[in-house]
Amino acid sequence: MAHPYSARSRAIEPFHVMALLARANQLQAEGHDVIHLEIGEPDFTTAEPIIAAGQAALAAGHTRYTAARGVPALREAIASFYAERYRLRIDPERILITPGGSGALLLASSLLVDPGKHWLLADPGYPCNRHFLRLVEGGAQLVPVGPEERYQLTPQLVERHWDGDSVGALVASPANPTGTLLHRDELAALSATVKGRGGHLVVDEIYHGLTYGVDASSVLEVDDEAFVLNSFSKYFGMTGWRLGWLVAPPQAVPELEKLAQNLYISAPSMAQYAALACFEPATLAILEERRAEFARRRDYLLPALRELGFGIAVEPEGAFYLYADISAFGGDAFAFCRHFIETEHVAFTPGVDFGRHLASRHVRFAYTQSLPRLEEAVERIARGLKSWRPDAL
């Protein structure tokens, strides 16, 4: 009997961490104090000026469809943000507002990838990237990367792995799960290599704004024809509002607009009007305070985990993650994560959710909890390491 559902659907893997999260939530419902270091979501609520703007938008009746490319005022505000933060002049006509960064990825993959073609992606990396490619009947050529490359694609790796079905490369800076950046010269070299092969460079800049001790360069500083994915979820703290954007070359915009009209009509209207408040000085001041708090958390958790024996070879410069090697403790990462949920009620993510390369030896910690909670988590992890028996599972 034929399978009742599509091969496409069956090929898209679930988030393995969701099973761990379900168990963590069950323990929490039973009255246990669970420390959540598994979810890639800021623990801060949306900043008050943005909430107020959203409430005002609802009161004013901004509840109807917008143009597929988004509210013009928001596209203009984003263009102004590029001018102020990156000294770039981006025509607002090149910006499409999307339902989250996921909507931007859906547009880019739909536009650029034919069935059977693929992009090069770093392994480890954000899993939905490869799943979106499968959704459009394309694929991901996963390229193993490690500390030597700071977990990023390099021109040499692109040259080595490019084949007749390659049509582009997708990189993330800062990256999930490793927090590493591609600096301006690295972006320029990657762009030249991909263009030299006749491909497109797509850059996930969703964690821009959340960098520590360094400012992230946009690929648009070195390649005006690159496709940029961004989001209001991380730096701007609007995860549940589902709002992102895509910057594309001018010639691609008509095709992207057509796709947007058909795939989702428009991004949420009230969220777009709320996001206008993101760029006000008072809001940016709040967001910068939060960035400083994330830096303090990183600067505590990174040495604390290293002292316990976790291998973190590359200091993350952005996002809010630590990608740690558990080889010193032995055993499989999923079992390791399960042990800490059950014994110490600390939840973090197994490497298998981010790819295949040495995945069973790695876990990801999200420092999206307050410093006191991180300190408590480290105490519990230290205790849990004493009871960890990899051969007993």
Q: 216 and 199 in one domain?
A: yes
Q: 146 and 24 in one domain?
A: no
Question: Contact at 8 Å (CB) between 50 and 238?
Answer: yes
* Euclidean distance between CA atoms 305 and 307, whole angstroms: 5
Residue 291 lies in domain? 7-45+283-385
Last-in-domain residue among 234, 258, 279? 279
Q: Dihedral, CA atoms, 50, 56, 60, 66, nearest 10 degrees?
A: 10
* Euclidean distance between CA atoms 244 and 46, whole angstroms: 15
**Closest of 266, 269, 262, 271 to residue 242, by C-alpha:** 271
pLDDT of residue 152: 98
pLDDT of residue 39: 85
Q: 29: how many CB neighbours lie within 10 A of its CB?
A: 9
On whether residue 181 sits in a domain, the answer given is yes
172 DSSP assignment: E
* Token reading at 29: 């419902």
Q: 292 and 148 in one domain?
A: no
Q: 136 and 121 in one domain?
A: yes
Question: Contact at 8 Å (CB) between 220 and 226?
Answer: yes
On whether residue 312 sits in a domain, the answer given is yes
pLDDT of residue 14: 82
pLDDT of residue 283: 98
CATH number of the structural domain spanning residue 287:
3.90.1150.10
Phi and psi of 101, rounded to 5°? -60, -25
pLDDT of residue 1: 60
* Euclidean distance between CA atoms 282 and 290, whole angstroms: 13
Which residues in the chain show pLDDT less than 70? 1, 392-393
Q: 164: how many CB neighbours lie within 10 A of its CB?
A: 5
Q: 140 and 88 in one domain?
A: yes
pLDDT of residue 15: 79
On whether residue 2 sits in a domain, the answer given is no
On whether residue 1 sits in a domain, the answer given is no
Question: Contact at 8 Å (CB) between 107 and 252?
Answer: no
pLDDT of residue 392: 60
* Euclidean distance between CA atoms 66 and 270, whole angstroms: 10
* Token reading at 123: 């392994």
Q: 221 and 370 in one domain?
A: no
Last-in-domain residue among 257, 279, 301? 279
On whether residue 167 sits in a domain, the answer given is yes
CA 270 to mean position of chain CA atoms = 23
* Euclidean distance between CA atoms 374 and 368, whole angstroms: 9
On whether residue 393 sits in a domain, the answer given is no
Q: 153 and 97 in one domain?
A: yes
* Euclidean distance between CA atoms 309 and 384, whole angstroms: 13
249 DSSP assignment: -
Last-in-domain residue among 232, 256, 279? 279
Q: 164 and 266 in one domain?
A: yes
Q: 62 and 174 in one domain?
A: yes
On whether residue 392 sits in a domain, the answer given is no
Q: 139 and 27 in one domain?
A: no
Question: Contact at 8 Å (CB) between 369 and 295?
Answer: no
On whether residue 119 sits in a domain, the answer given is yes
Q: What is the pTM of this model?
A: 0.96
pLDDT in tens, 176-232: 999 999 999 999 999 999 999 999 999 999 999 999 999 999 999 999 999 999 999
Q: 172 and 270 in one domain?
A: yes
Q: According to DSSP H, which parts of 87-181 are helical?
A: 100-112, 127-135, 155-161
Q: 130 and 200 in one domain?
A: yes
As for how many domains the chain has, the answer is 2
CATH number of the structural domain spanning residue 177:
3.40.640.10
